[in-house]
């Protein structure tokens, strides 16, 4: 209790926390990091969280990962078609490998989400370096 006639003291609220990169931490950072790695939804963090550098990096990383995956699947489809014309059974074997490769991409995205939500970055050799370039 306070003494009669003495107004209670006022303490201002603390400033917003500062992230490791020097930018203000978004209150919905985890959600934005998850959206960064769900294929085309990486656009949402680009638009919604322009001030949070960590979220922007994960959005760029999600973009690069999506582009790499699209390039891979186009090349895979062309190779499967060519091998199917040359060796009839090779295309069938590649068709069986497709779901396993897709599962591999899904595991990579889940690892990126888990590391990102925990404040870390999952670096993919040959892919992640492009997220820093733009």
pLDDT score recorded for residue 23: 52
pLDDT score recorded for residue 26: 61
pLDDT score recorded for residue 74: 93
Nearest in space to 57 (alpha carbons), one of 71, 42, 70, 72:
42
| CA atoms of 8 and 37, how far apart (whole Å) | 48
pLDDT score recorded for residue 17: 47
Cβ–Cβ under 8 Å, residues 61 and 34? no
pLDDT score recorded for residue 90: 73
Cβ–Cβ under 8 Å, residues 43 and 122? no
Which residues of the chain fall below pLDDT 50?
16-19, 21
Nearest in space to 59 (alpha carbons), one of 87, 83, 38, 82:
38
Nearest in space to 29 (alpha carbons), one of 119, 111, 110, 134:
119
The predicted model scores a pTM of 0.69
């Amino acid at each position: 209790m306070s003494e009669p006639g003495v107004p209670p003291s006022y303490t201002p609220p603390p400033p917003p926390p500062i992230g490791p990169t020097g930018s203000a931490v978004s209150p919905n950072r985890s959600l934005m990091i998850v959206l960064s790695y769900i294929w085309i939804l990486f656009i949402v963090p680009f638009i919604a969280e322009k001030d949070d550098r960590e979220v922007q990096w994960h959005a760029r990383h999600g973009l690069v990962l999506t582009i790499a995956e699209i390039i891979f699947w186009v090349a895979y489809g062309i190779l499967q078609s060519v091998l199917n014309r040359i060796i009839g059974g090779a295309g069938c074997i590649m068709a069986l490998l497709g779901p396993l490769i897709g599962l591999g991409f899904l595991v990579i995205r889940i690892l990126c989400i888990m590391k990102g939500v925990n404040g870390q970055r999952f670096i993919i050799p040959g892919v992640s370096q492009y997220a820093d370039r733009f």
